[in-house]
A and B are shown apart, each in its own frame.
Chain A
């Protein structure tokens, strides 16, 4: 299992701020987890559709689609940041 967090506009469009998800089989990466999420339903497919801009962090460090995942990881998806 991994914990997934969603922030800002992504949290609102998905109607979800936090969930526990079983990792996909094989060598799990951000990309394979995302594929699993996209296949869930239209809401996730739309939020992560090609051309949508999003960022990912794994264990509170900026990551990318190729970043490997292991049980217990904290994965966060969010829009490009707008602080400052």
Chain B
């Protein structure tokens, strides 16, 4: 399976992480992150959200982020699955999995991949609330989180 997948379908995090290390004996650590749709954002009740993306660029951007993680840490494998289309509160949005020999590399790379995904991968969320539908504004805190990996 490719290490980057953009899909409408849900994923089974346990199965995906198991596949990441299947048949390997050099992996000592797997760190993962699962992002979910919350029912509340800045005080607005969310009924559903729709994720739009830029087909073609999205996959390239996620591949580039994984490549950068491999360049920065000693990693054995990485996996990013990001869903698009309509999602409701409680749905999984994103899975990042990182396999390495030691936990430090896996923890750091997993956080790095999420921080860069949040600021560099072309996805946009549109939320449906009781007051209507609105595009989610980018948060400065996400940019700040990504900036700390600079230098």
A interface with B by C-beta (< 8 Å): 5, 7-9, 12, 53, 57, 60-62, 76, 78-84
Nearest residue (CB) in A for B56 is A60
Chain B residue nearest to A55 (CB atoms) is B122
Among A60, A79, A84, find the residue whose CB has the most chain B CB atoms closer than 10 A: A84
B124 within 8 A of A: yes
Contacts of B53 in A (CB 8 A): 83
Interface size on B, residues (CB 8 A): 27
B54: contacting residue among A9, A53, A60, A82, CB under 8 A: A60
Q: Complex Cα distance A79/B135, Å?
A: 10
CB distance from B55 to the nearest CB of A (A): 10
In the complex, what residues of B have CB within 8 A of residue A80's CB? 119, 137-138
**Other A-B pairs beyond A8-B135, A57-B122, A83-B121, 17, CB < 8 Å:** A5-B54, A9-B124, A12-B135, A62-B120, A76-B57, A78-B54, A79-B124, A79-B138, A80-B137, A81-B122, A82-B118, A82-B137, A83-B51, A83-B117, A83-B122, A83-B125, A84-B123
Could you show 16 A-B contacts with beta carbons less than 8 Å apart? A7-B54, A7-B124, A8-B135, A9-B135, A60-B57, A61-B57, A62-B61, A76-B57, A78-B124, A81-B123, A81-B138, A82-B125, A83-B94, A83-B125, A84-B114, A84-B123
- Asked whether, in the complex, the Cβ of B57 is within 8 Å of the Cβ of A8, the reply is no
Within 8 A of A (CB), among B128-149: 135-138
**Cα A79 to Cα B138 with chains together (Å):** 8
Nearest to B143 among chain A residues (CB) is A80
Most interface-central of B51, B53, B135 (chain A CB within 10 A): B135
* Cβ contact of A53, chosen from B82, B114, B119, B138, cutoff 8 A: B138
Determine the distance from Cα of A57 to Cα of B137 in the docked complex, in whole angstroms. Answer: 19
In the bound assembly, the distance between CA atoms of A2 and B93 in angstroms comes to 33
Q: Is the CB of B57 within 8 A of A81?
A: no
Give complex CA distance A43, B35 in Å.
Answer: 36
For the complex, give the distance between the alpha carbons of A61 and B58 in Å.
Answer: 10
CA distance A57 to B55 in the complex (A): 13
Contacts of B74 in A (CB 8 A): none
A76 to B114, CA, bound (A): 23
